[in-house]
Structure 1
Amino acid sequence: MGNSGTGDTDAEDASRLPVRPPKPGKAMSVFVLLAGLGIVGVGAYSYVADSGTLENRVQITAEVSEVGVEQLQGSRGRESYVPAVTFQYRFRGTSYTSDRIYPGTTQPRYEDRAAAQSRASAYAVGERVTAYVDPGAPGQAFLEDSRSGQATGAFFVGVIVSLIGGLGLYQARREARARERLS
C-alpha cells in the first residue's frame, strides 16, 4: 500500500491520521494569553471611558449625606473594603444622589478596613463638597477629578499576563520543534 505517485493514497493516509488535542502546556499558554488580552481590553476600555467622562465633566456643589465603609466578599473568600461616600446634588434642575468617588463604575477596594476608612474620612456628613458630573450621565457624579488607577493597573496586569502566556506558547512551540528534529 504505500505511495503509488497518484496522490490518492496520500489523501487516504492523511485522513486516517489521529487528530491530537493541543499539548497541556500549549493549551494553558493559549488560555493565559487570551485571558491576558481580555484583561488588557477591559483596562483599555475603562481608561477610555474614564477619559471621556473627565473631558466632559462639569463642576457642581454637592452635600455629603452618608460616609462609611462597605465590606465586600473578595476573591478566594477574602474580604475587601470600599469607602462609601453618598452625596446629593442638583444638576439642570433635577436632584440626584451618587456614591462614586471616581469616574467610572469601578471604585477602589482596600484589603484593610482602616485604609478604606481613612479614604472615606476625607468627607463628613453635611459637608458641602465639589463634585463633577458628565452632562451625558447626570446621575453618575463623582468626587475626585482624576482616575482611580484601576484601569491603568488592569491594563498593565493584562500585558504581563499576556507576556507570560506568549512566552509559554513560544516555549511550547520551541519544544515541539525540538521533538520534530529528534524524530
Structure 2
Amino acid sequence: MSSGGERDRGRRSGMGLPVQPPKPGTAMSAFVLLVGLGIVGVGAYSYVTDSAALDGRVQVTAEVTETGVEEVTASRGRDAYVPVVTFRYEYQGTTYTSNRLYPGQSQPQYQDRATAQERVSAYAVGQRVPAYVDPDAPGAAFLEDSRSGQPTGAFFVGLAVSLVGAVGLYQARAEARARELLP
C-alpha cells in the first residue's frame, strides 16, 4: 500500500496533480528568450521606421547653427559621446531646427570624445548642407542620407540573446524530461 504522499506525487492542478513552479533554469531561459525577442522587435521597428523616413525623404538646404559633443551615460554606467550638429532649414514655408544626424530616434554614440569630435568636424557653423525631411515629421530632419546601423545592430544582438535563451530553455526542458524518466 502506498502512502498519500506517493499517491499525490504525480498530480497536477485541475487534474489532481500538484503544480510545480518552473525550475530556475527554465524560468531564467524563458526570461532571456523574451528579452531577446523584445530587442529584436525594437531593432526591427526602428529599421522599418528609418526605412520609411529614407523612402519618403525630401532634400532641403540647411544651415549649420551649432556643433558640439554631448557626454551621456551609456550602458553599464560608462560615458559615451554623441556628436551634435544643430541646423536650421525651411520646409513648405515653415522654418525648423533639428539636430539629428540620422533618421529615427537612434543617434550614434562613441566611446571616446575624439571620435565624436571627428564626426562633427565635417560640419562648420554657418555652412550650408543638404538635409533630408520626412514629410510625415517635418520637424525631425536629418543630415545623413543613410541608416545609423543601430537598428540592425539591435536586431542581431536581440537574435543572439534569443538564441541563448532558446538553447537554455531547450536544455532545461531536456533535463526535466530526463529526470521524469528516472525510476
With normalisation by structure 2, the TM-score equals: 0.91
Question: Would you say 1:110 and 2:127 are equivalent positions?
Answer: no
Quote how far apart the aligned CAs of 1:73 are.
1.3
Decide whether the 8 Å contact of 2:33 with 2:166 is kept in 1. yes
Q: What residue ranges of structure 2 are gaps of 5+ in the alignment?
A: none
Measured against aligned partners, the alpha-carbon deviations of 1:65-121 in whole angstroms (never above 9, x if no partner) come to 001000001222211110000000011111000000000011011111111111111
Question: Would you say 1:167 and 2:174 are equivalent positions?
Answer: no
Measured against aligned partners, the alpha-carbon deviations of 1:2-52 in whole angstroms (never above 9, x if no partner) come to 8xxxxxx99xx6556432211110000000000000000000000000000
Q: What's the counterpart of residue 20 of structure 1?
A: 20
SS in structure 1 of the partner of residue 53 of structure 2: helix
Q: What's the counterpart of residue 68 of structure 1?
A: 68
Summarize the Cα distance change of 1:88–1:180 in structure 2 as closer, same or farther, 3 Å threshold: same
Q: Partners of 1:54 and 1:76 in 2: how far apart?
A: 32
Measured against aligned partners, the alpha-carbon deviations of 1:158-182 in whole angstroms (never above 9, x if no partner) come to 1100000000000001111111111
Q: What residue ranges of structure 1 are gaps of 5+ in the alignment?
A: 3-8
CA RMSD of aligned residues (A): 1.7
User: Which is further off, 15-24 or 27-36?
Assistant: 15-24
Q: Partners of 2:62 and 2:12 in 1: how far apart?
A: 72
User: Which is further off, 144-153 or 111-120?
Assistant: 111-120
Question: Would you say 1:122 and 2:127 are equivalent positions?
Answer: no
SS in structure 2 of the partner of residue 83 of structure 1: strand
Question: Would you say 1:39 and 2:39 are equivalent positions?
Answer: yes
SS in structure 2 of the partner of residue 80 of structure 1: strand
Q: What residue identity is the alignment partner of 2:159?
A: V
Decide whether the 8 Å contact of 2:100 with 2:140 is kept in 1. yes
SS in structure 2 of the partner of residue 49 of structure 1: helix
Runs of 4+ that moved beyond 6 A: none
Q: Partners of 1:111 and 1:31 in 2: how far apart?
A: 29
Question: Would you say 1:135 and 2:141 are equivalent positions?
Answer: no
Q: Partners of 1:177 and 1:56 in 2: how far apart?
A: 53
The alignment covers a number of residue pairs equal to 175
SS in structure 1 of the partner of residue 22 of structure 2: coil
SS in structure 1 of the partner of residue 45 of structure 2: helix
Q: What's the counterpart of residue 153 of structure 2?
A: 153
SS in structure 2 of the partner of residue 140 of structure 1: strand
SS in structure 1 of the partner of residue 139 of structure 2: strand
Q: What residue identity is the alignment partner of 2:84?
A: A
With normalisation by structure 1, the TM-score equals: 0.91
Q: Partners of 1:82 and 1:14 in 2: how far apart?
A: 55
